Amino acid sequence: MSKRPFAWEKSYPPGMDWDFKPEPSVLSRIADTAVARYPEHRALEYRGHVLSYAEFGHKMNSAAAALLREGIGAGTTLALYLPNTPYFPAIFFGGCKTGARMILLSPLDAERELAYKLKDSGARVMVTTDIGPMLSMALKLLDAGHLDKLIVAEDGAWGASPAPLAEIPDRPDVVTWADFAKGAPLPDRWPEVSPEDIALLQYTGGTTGMPKGAILTHGNLTTSAAIYNNWFQQQRPSTPGTDKIICVLPLFHIYALTTILIRQVENGNEIMLRPRFDPESVLQDIEIRKATIFPGVPTMWIALANLPDLDTRDFSSLTYCSSGGAPLPVEVGKRFEALTGLPLLGGWGMTETAPAGTNLPCSNPAKPGSIGIPMPGIEMGIVALEDPTRELEPGETGELRIKGPNVTSGYWNRPEETGQAFADGYFLTGDIGTMDEDGYFYIVDRKKDMILSGGFNVYPQVVEQAIYEHPSVAEVLVVGIPDAYRGESAKAFVALRSGAAPFTLEELQAFLADKVGRHEMPRDLEFRSALPRTAVGKFSKLQLKQEEIEKRASGS
């Protein structure tokens, strides 16, 4: 452990204390407390429909009772494959109330990734929606034997759906949510759930194959929410039940799950659920519905910045806005700060940290390129790459490590990778960076070669493995290249087999459509007679990256 005081403590806002000790709790207890405290407050708003906390509590308990009747509880896994609709919060908290483990599946995932997550987690029951593409994919998984039962939450229950709805087939292994939940009796006593119990297996991409499930307990998630609460309440005091949060970030992602769903339910605030991002709709939420908080990712802020009438819009209701998931263009941040009077703050975190880590304080001057300072209750440091037990001095470059009550204990069914992820009691993040004398951290590289595209993690080796299935491909390397909209996107460098004809980017994308997620899709393609190698014969991604930098610098 580093010596106290930590370097970052002197950078804390007045009154903030690193010795904050969040009390681990249980997710359903957080929701039950909010329902009891704020029964008449608005909990969820979706397409003009409003649920009070009392109504939300009723739907959560109904979901828990129905799941228990189905045999879902301690020792079982439930898969949620849902967009941002009221079903998600009710069934997520309801599932947690049964003691079941949850997995959250992304509509961006390809079929093979979804099938792997179901098999690895042991989930045999899935709750999905009848929004066309998602139901179609869920039925494929059911027909392939990856599921025993599919429960379909009907989107039309919330009024006319703007998205096309698929017909729900009449078959014994498919049931609507309304029929599934009908008549389920509340138990005399709810199952005992402890902070040490697993609440979530949150899958994060693997660099050497399929994703791995980070084990997150009720305690990990509730302490992470408490860490965020402590950080923001001391800098931006607010009365519980008075904020309105635009939730367009997907709840299947750990950032939105913790900082929007769990944290805002705990505070009795209103969550405005939005299944997809639309710039004009976001501005209407701010101007007409008087949203107070808007967390986004850079692609959203860039899209808003490109609106022709942005300078005439009314942002006066906003009290906090943030950007995360990828670096934000400096000019975009400056423009919104000028319009709103609010800095676009952000920080750093990981799936494995649920995702609390660092944040930029409101009171101290921003340091260009910094990811901020560790929030109270979290310990971080920089360690030597060749010896992860040796902590480095400020200014030296090494690997970021982290310790705290929010940090995962490891990966589901991956004992070897779990062992490799920890050293001296700290989680090794795989990010390369430095810390300055004031305790501010900076990431200078990514050990895992990960690409951050539109706020989503893209792992090059996964994309490369899929491209290798193309019969014309002899060799392939995928690297991240600058993308004005997404921050970064994937570019594929391909060496063809002897005699094979080249193909277009569009043809490659069509080939990959069922093999990788939309966020993983290459946005550029270049053919080479041979791919660069190091002196010892290994592929050199560094050379390709340097060539791309030089090409862009010369404007070619």
Residues 460 and 410 in one domain: no
pLDDT attached to residue 206 = 58
- One domain for residues 237 and 328: yes
Tell me how long the chain is: 556
- Same-domain pairing of 324 and 241: yes
CB 24 within 8 A of CB 222: yes
Same domain, 414 and 545: no
The pLDDT value given to residue 170: 98
Q: How many domains does one find in the chain?
A: 3
Say whether both 41 and 153 belong to one domain. Answer: yes
Reported as a pLDDT band with limits 50, 70 and 90, residue 537 is low
pLDDT of residue 507: 98
Query: Where is the domain boundary, 428, 446, 464?
Result: 446
CATH number at residue 172: 3.40.50.980
Asked if residue 428 and residue 359 are part of one domain, the reply reads yes
pTM of the model: 0.87
Position 548, amino acid: E
pLDDT-above-90 percentage for the chain: 73
The region of weakest confidence among 73-87, 243-257, 319-333, 414-428 is 319-333
Least confident stretch, 2-11, 45-54, 173-182, 297-306: 297-306
Is 533 domain-assigned?
A: yes
- Domain end marker among 405, 425, 446: 446
CA distances from residue 249 to 25, 106, 112, 120, 455 in whole angstroms, order as listed? 25, 12, 24, 26, 10
Averaged pLDDT score across all residues of the chain: 93
Alpha-carbon distance of 271 to 264, in angstroms, equals: 7
Which residues are CB-neighbours of 393 under 8 A, at least 6 positions away?
A: none
The more confident residue out of 142 and 323 is 142
Quick check: is 204 in a domain?
no
Which residue pairs, CB below 8 angstroms and at least 24 apart, start in 115-118? Answer: 115/141, 115/144, 115/146, 116/210, 116/211, 117/79, 117/203, 117/211, 117/213, 118/79, 118/146, 118/147
Same-domain status, 395 and 513: no
Q: Are residues 257 and 164 in the same domain?
A: no
Q: Which domain holds residue 186?
A: 27-193
Query: Measured between alpha carbons, how far is residue 74 from residues 97, 99, 198, 415 in Å?
Result: 10, 5, 9, 22
Instruction: Please tell me whether residues 468 and 547 are part of one structural domain.
Output: yes
144 and 50 belong to one structural domain = yes
Looking at residue 498, which CATH number applies to its domain?
3.30.300.30
Same domain, 480 and 418: no
Give the pLDDT confidence score for residue 213 in this predicted structure: 98
Residue type, 280: E
Domain stop point among 446, 478, 506:
446
Same domain, 247 and 175: no
Summarised one tens digit per residue, pLDDT across range 346-397 is 889 999 999 999 999 987 767 877 899 999 999 999 999 889 999 999 999 8
